[in-house]
Amino acid sequence: MLTMSVALTGNPNTGKSTIFNELTGIRQKIGNWPGVTVDKKVGYVRHKDRAISVVDLPGTYSINARSPEEQIVIDYLLSEKPDIVVNVIDASNIERNLFLTLQLLERRIPVLIDLNMMDEAAKRGIKISPNRLSKLIGMPVVETVGRDKKSIRSLLDVFTSTVMQNYQNTELIEDYIHSIEEIRKSGDTPDNEEKIIALRYAVIDKIIAATVDRSAAASTTTTEKIDRFLANGFLALPLLLAILYSVFQITFTWIGQPIADYLDFLINEQFSSFVSEALTALGVAPWLHSLIVDGVIAGVGSVLTFVPLIFTLFFCLSFLDGTGYMARVAFVMDPIMRRAGLTGKGIMPLIMGFGCGVPAIMGARALDSEKDRMISILVTPFLTCGAKLPVMALFAAVFFPNQASNVVFAMYIVGIIMAILMAKVLNVTTFKDKQSTFLLELPPYRFPDMKTVLLETWDKGKGYLVKAGTIIFAMSVLIWVLSNYSLYGPVDEMSKSLLAQLGSAVSFLFTWQGFAHWQAGSAIIAGIVAKETVISTMGILYGVANVSADEGTVEAARQMLSTLGSSFTALSAIAFMVFTQLYSPCVTALGTIKKETGRWKWVAFAFLYTTAVAWVVSLLVYQIGSLLGF
């Protein structure tokens, strides 16, 4: 028997994903639609000996093909022609949702209307007659409550018993479609678009008048009362900052980072030591021993230690999104973010960039438009992530012991300023022809469906492990080869390695920045893998043993003062810090950019343009400082 195909479509925040997760559970496949970074969710279920494929289409307010989501929805429905198209509607906000319903009917796409969140509507005193709605438009109508398993599972009975060919538009809908077609005959103009929108709302008003009873509706809802504090007035921004700070702390201090540190200990110390001893006992050749321990295990470990951060962050974001608060974040921040060329939703990925660029880049997928997603991805690497902080702290302690905290803070400010400036530049250059749509909806507050939260967290975290991890692993092994081999074979000193030769080759680029020596060039190249390696690489190259990001900054400064002081001045150290702050994202972030954009050209662009910006800014710092006598 052939598999029945069902497509779920509807506005954002209608409970569509909850229905999808309840129907399919873990029987899902998550990928990307061809050519775009929007998630493609397909699930499978069997009911009454019938195989059913369920596709969760991206949430969208219209199908005008003005965004990737809208294009995906209309292309899929017209080309694939699924057996049943389920239009999931938030019953507590039926007017807005019917706008998409009418657009689907205009395209002659039969729909099964699912009045979801009927419990929310009842709480608001809203009563809807499914029978009247069905008779008025000619399509089948069902009721569901997203969190009620029995209610959602009953949809399977509807799917297997409904034949959409038996339904057709009523005279009201046909007259409406005819009027739309007449307007479009005179051309696709702004005036005609306004006429069409007005006509749609006129039909919606007729439908609402005949099917919805609001006589018992409450004058002020609980959501409106909460929004008086969280989304309006003087307290909105401070409360937003407090919530974002809590997410930041949960991810990078309280939960995510401690787990990451423990994983790092288990993998890079316990497991690595165990494997090293075992290989030594077996008499394995030194080169193979080093490849396995320093290349393979270190490479895999660098991926796995990020996993707790990824999962913790996306759990927090999915939880907040489920409560309805993420829409308030965009509402509060939109006026501020528009000055930087982004919309309000762009604030969350940027805030996360102060902890780690990887989850920040992945968090950009929550933004509405492709333009906003790309700008956010490309400016996030300028921010001071946790991996850059040890570099800044060490150099500040060595060269500015009395002003170390102020110097580190200045590096944070440099990163913020460059992120804002480059967001504006990208907005008017690379993405100037891209449209940035921003439709703001404030859904009611509710406790999130934990099954949906956990599934979304797993889906996003799994994507990092499977795809980004392969790139990170390969690049980590490559760096091992470069640091342990020359063109003539293995080396016993890093100064003779290909990495050192590459450092010498690029060092001339920093002649005007004051640090044109191969050690700095090698550290910069190693920093592409992970910014933390800048410190350990310089410690090795300058002959200082056991210097790492885990040691106390003061002790590390004492060890490196004499050696670094011979190669850097205070001014060239500042220039080096600025360059390290701004240049290429690490391999982990570059791999994530590849996963999120789907194209190597954006990986190359991110590497080249950030490095160019870093070179220019560090040049200006050194040259202007020299002119001023520093």
Query: Could you report the per-residue pLDDT of 202-212, keeping only the tens digit for each?
Result: 999 999 999 99
Q: Give percent above pLDDT 90 in the chain.
A: 35
Sheet holding 4-10, edge to edge: 28-32, 39-47, 50-56, 4-10, 84-90, 112-116, 141-143
Given a cut of 50, whether residue 553 has pLDDT beyond it is no
Torsional sign, CA 295, 596, 530, 519: positive
What is the reported pTM?
A: 0.71
pLDDT at 219: 65
Tokens of 541: 């190259």
Q: Give percent above pLDDT 70 in the chain.
A: 87
SS (H, E, C) 481-498: HHHHEECCEECCCHHHCH
pLDDT at 566: 64
Confidence tier at 414 by pLDDT (50, 70, 90)? very high
- Could you report the per-residue pLDDT of 455-510, keeping only the tens digit for each? 878 876 776 676 556 655 676 677 778 878 888 888 877 778 888 889 889 988 99
pLDDT at 31: 66
Strands 485-486 and 141-143: unpaired
List b or e across 1-12, with b for residues whose CB sees 16 or more CB atoms inside 10 angstroms.
Answer: eeebbbbbbbbb
**Which one has a higher pLDDT value, 617 or 447?**
617
How far out from the chain centre does Cα 164 lie? 37
Residues in CB range of 185: below 8 A, 6 or more apart: none
Instruction: Provide the mean pLDDT of the chain.
Output: 84
Report CA dihedral (540, 542, 548, 551) to the nearest 10 degrees. Answer: 140
Confidence tier at 545 by pLDDT (50, 70, 90)? very low
- Could you report the per-residue pLDDT of 45-98, keeping only the tens digit for each? 999 889 999 999 988 888 987 777 788 899 999 999 999 999 999 998 999 999
- What's 542's DSSP letter? T
pLDDT at 279: 93
- What's 28's DSSP letter? E
Smallest CA-to-CA distance from 577 within 564, 587, 566 is with 564
pLDDT at 178: 95
**Which one has a higher pLDDT value, 357 or 626?**
626
Give the whole-angstrom CA distance, residue 76 versus residue 59.
Answer: 13
- Kindly report the backbone phi and psi dihedral angles of residue 86, in degrees, each rounded to the nearest multiple of 5, phi listed first: -95, 115
Q: Where are the alpha helices (DSSP H) in 380-403?
A: 389-399
pLDDT at 489: 83
pLDDT at 412: 83
Confidence tier at 539 by pLDDT (50, 70, 90)? low
SS (H, E, C) 586-611: CHHHHHHHHHHHCCHHHHHHHHHHHH
**Which one has a higher pLDDT value, 92 or 221?**
92
Q: Where are the alpha helices (DSSP H) in 429-532?
A: 450-463, 469-484, 498-507, 518-529
Give the whole-angstrom CA distance, residue 80 versus residue 76.
Answer: 5
pLDDT at 157: 92
| Type and span of the H or E element at 445 | none
Residues in CB range of 317: below 8 A, 6 or more apart: 247, 326, 348, 363, 366
pLDDT at 544: 52
List b or e across 446-464, with b for residues whose CB sees 16 or more CB atoms inside 10 angstroms.
Answer: bebbeebbebbbbbbbebb
| 3-state class (DSSP) for residue 115 | strand
**Lowest mean pLDDT, pick from 68-77, 219-228, 370-379:** 219-228
List b or e across 585-605, with b for residues whose CB sees 16 or more CB atoms inside 10 angstroms.
Answer: bbbbbbbbbbbbbeeeebbeb
Tokens of 580: 């390290």
